[in-house]
Amino acid sequence: MTPLPDVLDACCGSRMFWFNREDPRVLYCDVRRETLTIDVGTPGTVGRKPAVIAPDLLADVTRLPMPDASFWHVIFDPPHVFNPGNSNIAKRYGKLPQEWRLFFESAFAECFRVLKPGGTLIFKWADVSVKLADVLPLAPHPPLYGHRTGKKAGTHWVAFLKPPQ
């Protein structure tokens, strides 16, 4: 069996924030595989390249197929909105399930399960449909620190550390 890389991106989407979208140190996972048309002829979309969602592994973040304690670093960037319609937001990022509390409890539990003791989890969240303060208590461990970018519906980057066993 091929050893797993040190890093898991549990909801990679089109890998938008990665400096190297093919970094061999990362296992890119997502629940979908598709190429999305972004140029729909409107002024804001003309000439935009398709968004390619091509995970290394098709996997649901609430049921990851890896053994316990597989990764030193996990990135968790889930969908942020409930009903984005057929917008580019929906295409690129997916839709947050209506049962969002159960989704986050399961997803955080899985991310921590596959994280090695002493490993880090980075959670990326935008305050669009659900406030960060309502999501963080659903994680099994408290966050270390975070940073907000933007103003109204800011994006938050939150760091967690899995306690040593």
Where does residue 43 rank: exposed (0-12), middle (13-18), buried (19+ CB within 10 A)?
Answer: exposed
pLDDT, tens digit, 9 for 90 and up, residues 77-106: 998 887 656 666 777 777 888 899 999 999
- Looking at 54-58, 93-97, 117-121, 158-162, which range is the least confident one? 93-97
Q: Which two tokens stand for residue 59?
A: 């996997």
- From CA 150, how far away is CA 128, in angstroms rounded? 12
pLDDT, tens digit, 9 for 90 and up, residues 57-83: 999 999 999 999 999 999 999 988 876
Q: How far is CA 24 from the centre of its chain?
A: 18
- From CA 44, how far away is CA 109, in angstroms rounded? 38
Percent of the chain having pLDDT more than 90?
Answer: 63
Give every CB contact of residue 59 below 8 A, 6+ residues apart in sequence: 10, 29, 30, 31, 65
Count of all residues that appear for the chain in the document: 165
